Structure 1
Amino acid sequence: MPFLDIILLALFAGFVIFKLRSVLGRRTGHERRRPDPFSEPAQSNDNGNVVRLPERAAEVAGPPDDDAGPENPMAAGVMRIKLADETFDEREFLHGAKAAFAMVVEAYAKGDVDALRPLLSRELYGGFASAIEAREKAGEVQETTIVTIRSADIVEAALENHFAKVTVEFVTEQVKVTRNAAGDAIEGDPDRIEILTDIWTFARDIRSRDPNWELVATRVPED
């Protein structure tokens, strides 16, 4: 009898398990698939709204620029140079222009023609060398100290054939004095800082592998 009870219980348990599997294990076609974060496509909002990053939103949907006027010749010139020479960058150019300004002013004051030669065009170098020679013949000495470069701004830019030309206006504070052979100041004041404005034009052949620019012209603003 105990053996018969065990058999009956086993049969009953098997029947229950079969019924449960027939219900719980059946697929109806409406089950929710487990999400896979690595393969699920991004879901868009039902209302069609798009969330943009702040800077992108400003670019796409920003208000029109009411101050935009007619084409700026300087900006147009810079753009033409950029299109012809993808390495041109205004900020890097101005950084180099300020360094060149200091080097040229210092070399000219010292009469260092060797330092000037690679910085100037052939024509401009001839003028600088002649002025230095005349000063030395007169026994004069020039002392120049650049206290600070207040500003350096591109005021003109153009692409002429394959030559890029960029004109920069420098506003600087300098102490300048010229002394005679006896050491007396004959021009300028060693105790006075002058605010000077110089307009220099640099040029470069964009076909050349040499990335350096040459100073090709200097002038001061017209009164």
Structure 2
Amino acid sequence: MYGQFDLITLIALIVAVAAILKLRSVLGHRSDEDEQRVERLKKREAGQRAAAETASADVITMPRRDRDPLQPVPAVEAPANNAEARIKAFSVVDPSITNGLLEIANLDTSLDPESFLTGAGRAYEMIVSAFAEGNRRALKDLLSREVYDGFVAAIGEREVREETVEQQFVGIKKADLVEAELKNGVAFLTVRFISELISAVKDKAGEVVSGDTQTIKSVTDIWTFSRDVSTAKARANPNWKLVATQAPN
């Protein structure tokens, strides 16, 4: 009985193993089409992973064009207390300069004396260089009408004499704010520039008639810049113009 049972059990095991092997051989078999499908899936997954890694490592966001145009953001003026703090921290030789700056800041809270001096220095170099070159177009946007007319007249006289200016702007050694006031809503800031130039005037034959092409000369100029700060519309224009020049005392 036990032998019979063992024989039946053994036959059943053999049949089960054969069935498993048959099923495994069927399920484990891949056709050429299956292989190609698997390869395509692998490539797609690899491409998606690479794109995700690249996007997360180096993203450049381009401007988005919405259906409705974005409304411009209005300029926000700096708080008055910040302007007051900047002005009081600004070093001056005359307390009246601070008072004048504070008066201007009551209308224009964006006023920053340090930033103004930086911009005035750039304007000074541009104006001096444009005048030497006789570049009327460059001067027009930087000068008031009266000052522009004076500069252009001097350039014209030089051209009549057939003289040219050979100039090299070395740099500004010092720029000090020496006056600040507000008149009828217009701000006036006066700066003393001490600069270094190499400058010479030559006649039509190329001979030097004044100055020197080799020597660095120290030059002092006192220039006054102005800007309308009376209204929000006027303050939207941040540009200062040269309105007066004077020789040092």
TM-score normalised per structure 1: 0.67
SS of 2:106's equivalent? helix
Alignment of 1:45-194 (within 5 A): 72-194=95-217
Mapped to 2, the partners of 1:143 and 1:220 lie a distance apart of 22
Report how far residue 144 of structure 1 moved: 2.0
Match in the other structure for 1:7: none
Match in the other structure for 1:215: 242
SS of 1:76's equivalent? helix
Unaligned runs of 5+ in 2: 1-93
Q: Deviations over 1:85-131 (max 9, x none)?
A: 01110111011000000100010000000000010000110000111
Mapped to 1, the partners of 2:246 and 2:123 lie a distance apart of 16
Report how far residue 146 of structure 1 moved: 1.5
Q: CA RMSD in A?
A: 1.0
Which residue identity does 2:211 align to in structure 1? G
Alignment of 1:24-43 (within 5 A): none
SS of 2:196's equivalent? strand
Mapped to 2, the partners of 1:205 and 1:120 lie a distance apart of 14
Match in the other structure for 1:26: none
8 A contact 1:148–1:174 mirrored in 2: yes
8 A contact 1:105–1:144 mirrored in 2: no
Identity of aligned residues (%): 43
Mapped to 2, the partners of 1:176 and 1:97 lie a distance apart of 21
Structure having the larger proportion of residues in helix: 2
Count of residues in Structure 1 that have an aligned counterpart in Structure 2: 152
Unaligned runs of 5+ in 1: 1-70
Mapped to 2, the partners of 1:201 and 1:86 lie a distance apart of 20
